[in-house]
Chains A and B, each alone.
Chain A
Amino acid sequence: MATLPGSLLPGSIVQEPTNYRRSPEISEFERVTYPFDARDSAAPASGAKADTQPVEELRISHSGDYLPSFVGDWYHRIHLIPARIDLGNVISPVERRLEVWNAYLEAHTLNAIEATATDGLTLSGPPQPPLDFGPLQTRLYRFTASSRGAPLIDARYTFRFASGLVAVLPVTGRRVVVFGIRPNWAAGITERLEWLTEVLEAHDGTEQRIRLRQMPRRGFEYGFLLEGQDARVLDHLLFAWGGRTYCLPVWTDIAYLAEEVRAGATALQVQDAANSDYHPGGMAVLWRSVLDNEAVQVLSVAGNTLTLNLALGRSWPAGTQVFPARLARLDGQTAVRRPTDTIAEGRCRFTVEDLTAPAVSEPGPAYQGYRIFDWPPDRSEDLEDNWQRKLAVLDHGTGVRGYDDESGTAQMGRRLAWLLPDRSQVSRFRAWLAARAGRANPAWLPTFESDLVVTRPVATADSGLTVRNVGYSHFVAGHPQRRDLVLRTTAGVFYRRVTGADELSADEELISLDAPLGVTVAPAQFLQISWLELARLDQDAVELFWETDQVARLQLSTRTLSS
């Protein structure tokens, strides 16, 4: 124990003043006389310190427990990161990184990696087991899946450690094969979109429509004509993969590589991507021949640039065809005719498996709560109207037959056809069809006929039209299903509702409108006056017939509703 020298500083004499608050008995001080007696003052006194440091503590033992925390989630276990690998559709070699982390604070030895169902899969990187994992040590493995191998990937990797620890990595995925059999354009390609609607019709003809499918089903049908090597490839493509999912190029949405794209590139330049079937997460096919093609996955689409999620495995020369692609399955039988021993001719029908929601847009002016579809049909084939009544016939066989017109109105069905001359028009029409969703959603549809003929000029403030007598006031007189007009004039297009009609003479009648036209229009300026009908499609399935990769035809039947 250390002994340190110390001293006390001298103090001064304490000389208190008289304190009157003290009792006289104890405040009597004796006067100090000079010189001091040494005993009267505190002299500096020196002392020694006995160092007691360090101080011993009284130690008590307790028992305790740890409060669990996130540390238990992170540590004291073996982590495989990611915990499972879903390869999705393997259309080209895929590489993933696998991290094996010994999150124990002590070392563990990896004894073996047991693998099952690993056709076409490889795990590489660190040395073969037995392999020591130090405390908190992490090792990176490279996991690759080639596009050759079993069609369904369902593999398991079991990491067995010496201490009995086991970590399991499930790997799932599918392999996709490109159906590179190109169409024979002589017969075009049919694209089919199928919505599903339940229509509940009431006694009076009004109806409730319930949309049953969120996304339309989609299918393609086309013919092919192959010769030689290609025909033989077709055989084996059908033989091996007929029951599985193909990667089907959307043959109608063709684009070309303007210049060579080298191996390792992660972007492709295409044409008219906006009107093609590319979408993020979807696929594209680079195509040169039935066997010489490659499927790639599209990460994002910006303008005409497709960004791929993996670099291209090889170079593709300028002029290579590029198609968007869909996962599709062969539907029904595929009949192949063999005119000679090297020629194969047939048709194949596909249903698309990776559906995406189509773009929805509804052009045209709004009118009375719905949009007007003002897209004149193609009359290269005759349009056709058909008139139906919800007419119940009561026939007991013995007496007079009775009739009951249940709804009291005619239902007008129409068959209309359109010719869409380019891809942007097809896209617009497709978006309008998506807005209809089959039979679900109605729109205003003009009859596209010349239904009325104006006989006198219409002044700015006139709220009526004088037309040639067609018996409107006599027969129809503002019936809810026939009271809206589209007036096509050289001064503009007007949409008006008829509020009344009067027969002026045997030749003329006056149609009153809900609002004046606002301009003066002479009879000769009227180009066409058609009735507007609130109508829905009378079919859930729509077929787009592609004559070429630009031109498509389609035919729709419609049916009026009471507005």
Chain B
Amino acid sequence: MAFETGTATDYRDLLERFRAFLTKNPALVAANQQWTELRWISTDAGQQLLLRAPGLAGAEEIYCGIRSYSNPTSGYYMWDLIGSIGFNPANGFTDQPGALTGWLPMMSLWNAAMPYWFVASGRRAVVVTKVSTLYEAAYLGLILPYATPGQYPYPLFIGGSMTGQRGRNYSTTGPNHRHFVDPGDDGQNNGNTAAMLRGPSGAWLPFQNVAYSSGEYRYDNARIVWPTIYSYLGNLREAPDGTYVLTPLVLTQWNSGSDHDLFGELDGVYHVSGFNNAAENLIKVGGVDHLVVQNVYRTSVRDYWALRLA
């Protein structure tokens, strides 16, 4: 729907730009899909932004939030990402009604210049930003559920790049530092992940592809993201005519070997082969550019995804 790219001077500037983008971007305003700012607090200690998205038809209320904070001594500059089902002005950032609990999906940023790409519609917003030579990403808002609005009215997905507390620095390597498109856990609490979906029952469901203990893909996990879980994805190349296949990212629940539930797919976010490909390449599908993003610091063939820049 709306797309903006630029360079922020630091993690605080990035949030201010994101806030301005969601609430004032001309394309969003023209489509009547601009987000409403419910709370904006900016102090030396950090910033807090709570938002309400209107949905595509303006008939929905989608609640998301971001807060920034830093610890210069330990050298980390963070965004925390949250989603809820409502907004109460009296409540704090993590106490909003139906809010995501536990360790929130995070983005580990820095206090220096960062190129960024913002994409948003009335349903969801995606942030990609480049810290040094690695990439951080966030997804806030609804997925496209495989259900009618009546069957699954609030498929809110909060995705980030980092989870738990096994190192917060952007340079942390490990399964706790993975994008929501191919999420991992931090090994301390099985629920910690940077990919959380509000399920049809109203419970927050974690999605994890990679175990912290072994750093390996875990096929026994209850909820996984397809196709990034797939073993042979590293063998995937472009098509014989040179075009790249963009595969939808499907949130999946594994009940048994023959019984899987599919919740739906991420909106405008696809897996793409990294073969002969690199971050920030652009893939054109039907006249629309898709930004190729690598999973944080990972550059193997399987670790790339694409973001529709529209």
- List A residues at the B interface (Cβ < 8 Å): 2, 51, 53-55, 57-67, 69-71, 73-75, 79, 81, 99, 101, 105, 107, 133-138
Checking B132, B150, B243, B278 against A64 with a beta-carbon cut-off of 8 angstroms, the contacting residue is: B243
State in angstroms the CA–CA spacing of A81 and B239 once bound together: 38
Please give the distance in Å from B276's CB to the nearest CB on chain A: 8
Say yes or no for B242: interface residue by CB 8 A criterion. yes
Please give the distance in Å from A57's CB to the nearest CB on chain B: 4
With A63-B285, A66-B246: A53-B290 Cβ-Cβ less than 8 Å = no
With A71-B248, A71-B265: A138-B149 Cβ-Cβ less than 8 Å = yes
Q: Provide the residues of chain B in CB contact with A63, threshold 8 Å.
A: 242-244, 283-285
Say yes or no for B179: interface residue by CB 8 A criterion. no
Max count, chain B CB within 10 A of own CB: residue among A69, A71, A74, A107: A69
Contact across chains for B243 and A75 when beta carbons are under 8 A apart: no
Contact across chains for B242 and A75 when beta carbons are under 8 A apart: no
Contact across chains for A105 and B56 when beta carbons are under 8 A apart: yes
With A71-B248, A137-B57, A138-B148: A64-B285 Cβ-Cβ less than 8 Å = yes
With A54-B115, A65-B246: A134-B281 Cβ-Cβ less than 8 Å = no
Q: Provide the residues of chain B in CB contact with A133, threshold 8 Å.
A: 57
17 A-B interface contacts by CB (under 8 A)? A2-B112, A53-B113, A54-B113, A54-B114, A57-B280, A59-B282, A61-B282, A64-B290, A67-B246, A69-B247, A70-B250, A70-B265, A74-B146, A105-B56, A135-B56, A136-B55, A136-B149
Contact across chains for A134 and B56 when beta carbons are under 8 A apart: yes
Checking A58, A75, A134 against B59 with a beta-carbon cut-off of 8 angstroms, the contacting residue is: A134
State in angstroms the CA–CA spacing of A163 and B279 once bound together: 39
Contact across chains for A62 and B277 when beta carbons are under 8 A apart: yes
State in angstroms the CA–CA spacing of A133 and B272 once bound together: 34
Q: Provide the residues of chain B in CB contact with A70, threshold 8 Å.
A: 146, 250, 262, 265
State in angstroms the CA–CA spacing of A137 and B149 once bound together: 8
State in angstroms the CA–CA spacing of A223 and B78 once bound together: 89
Contact across chains for A65 and B144 when beta carbons are under 8 A apart: no
Please give the distance in Å from B82's CB to the nearest CB on chain A: 24
Contact across chains for B148 and A64 when beta carbons are under 8 A apart: no
Checking A51, A75, A134 against B57 with a beta-carbon cut-off of 8 angstroms, the contacting residue is: A134
Say yes or no for B238: interface residue by CB 8 A criterion. yes
Q: Provide the residues of chain B in CB contact with A54, threshold 8 Å.
A: 7, 113-115, 130
State in angstroms the CA–CA spacing of A447 and B132 once bound together: 103
Q: Which residue of A lies closest to B145 (CB)?
A: A74
Q: Provide the residues of chain A in CB contact with B239, threshold 8 Å.
A: 65
State in angstroms the CA–CA spacing of A64 and B248 once bound together: 13
How would you classify the secondary structure of chain B's contact residues: helix, strand, loop or mixed?
Answer: loop
Contact across chains for B144 and A58 when beta carbons are under 8 A apart: no
Contact across chains for B147 and A74 when beta carbons are under 8 A apart: yes
State in angstroms the CA–CA spacing of A69 and B249 once bound together: 10
Checking B57, B238, B270 against A136 with a beta-carbon cut-off of 8 angstroms, the contacting residue is: B57
Interface size band for B: 35 or more
State in angstroms the CA–CA spacing of A91 and B281 once bound together: 65
Q: Which residue of B lies closest to A81 (CB)?
A: B148
Say yes or no for B88: interface residue by CB 8 A criterion. no
State in angstroms the CA–CA spacing of A349 and B242 once bound together: 77
Nearest first, the 3 closest Cβ-Cβ pairs linking A and B are A134-B57, A135-B56, A64-B244
State in angstroms the CA–CA spacing of A64 and B245 once bound together: 6
Checking B123, B146, B243, B247 against A62 with a beta-carbon cut-off of 8 angstroms, the contacting residue is: B243
Contact across chains for B283 and A64 when beta carbons are under 8 A apart: yes
Chain B stretch 212-254: residues in CB contact (< 8 A) with chain A: 238-239, 242-248, 250
Contact across chains for B284 and A69 when beta carbons are under 8 A apart: no
Q: Provide the residues of chain B in CB contact with A75, threshold 8 Å.
A: 144
State in angstroms the CA–CA spacing of A65 and B285 once bound together: 6
Q: Provide the residues of chain A in CB contact with B130, threshold 8 Å.
A: 54-55
With A74-B144, A81-B148: A67-B247 Cβ-Cβ less than 8 Å = yes
Q: Which residue of A lies closest to B54 (CB)?
A: A134
Say yes or no for B58: interface residue by CB 8 A criterion. yes
With A74-B146, A81-B148: A53-B132 Cβ-Cβ less than 8 Å = yes
Say yes or no for B2: interface residue by CB 8 A criterion. no
Please give the distance in Å from B24's CB to the nearest CB on chain A: 21
Say yes or no for B181: interface residue by CB 8 A criterion. no
Q: Which residue of A lies closest to B1 (CB)?
A: A105
Contact across chains for A53 and B147 when beta carbons are under 8 A apart: no
Checking A57, A81, A99, A101 against B279 with a beta-carbon cut-off of 8 angstroms, the contacting residue is: A57
Chain B stretch 34-51: residues in CB contact (< 8 A) with chain A: none
A64-B285, A71-B146, A74-B147 known; 12 new pairs, CB 8 Å cut-off, are: A2-B112, A53-B113, A60-B277, A60-B281, A62-B281, A63-B242, A64-B283, A65-B244, A65-B245, A67-B246, A74-B145, A101-B148
Say yes or no for B73: interface residue by CB 8 A criterion. no
Q: Provide the residues of chain A in CB contact with B278, threshold 8 Å.
A: 57-58, 60
Q: Provide the residues of chain A in CB contact with B114, threshold 8 Å.
A: 54
Q: Provide the residues of chain A in CB contact with B7, threshold 8 Å.
A: 54
Contact across chains for B282 and A62 when beta carbons are under 8 A apart: yes
Say yes or no for B306: interface residue by CB 8 A criterion. yes
State in angstroms the CA–CA spacing of A107 and B238 once bound together: 34
Say yes or no for B133: interface residue by CB 8 A criterion. yes
Q: Which residue of A lies closest to B226 (CB)?
A: A69
Contact across chains for A53 and B57 when beta carbons are under 8 A apart: no
Please give the distance in Å from A402's CB to the nearest CB on chain B: 72
State in angstroms the CA–CA spacing of A2 and B146 once bound together: 49
State in angstroms the CA–CA spacing of A69 and B267 once bound together: 13
State in angstroms the CA–CA spacing of A396 and B130 once bound together: 114
With A107-B57, A134-B59: A64-B147 Cβ-Cβ less than 8 Å = no
Q: Provide the residues of chain B in CB contact with A138, threshold 8 Å.
A: 148-150
With A67-B248, A105-B56: A99-B148 Cβ-Cβ less than 8 Å = yes
State in angstroms the CA–CA spacing of A79 and B265 once bound together: 19
With A55-B133, A63-B284, A71-B265: A134-B244 Cβ-Cβ less than 8 Å = no
Q: Which residue of A lies closest to B282 (CB)?
A: A61
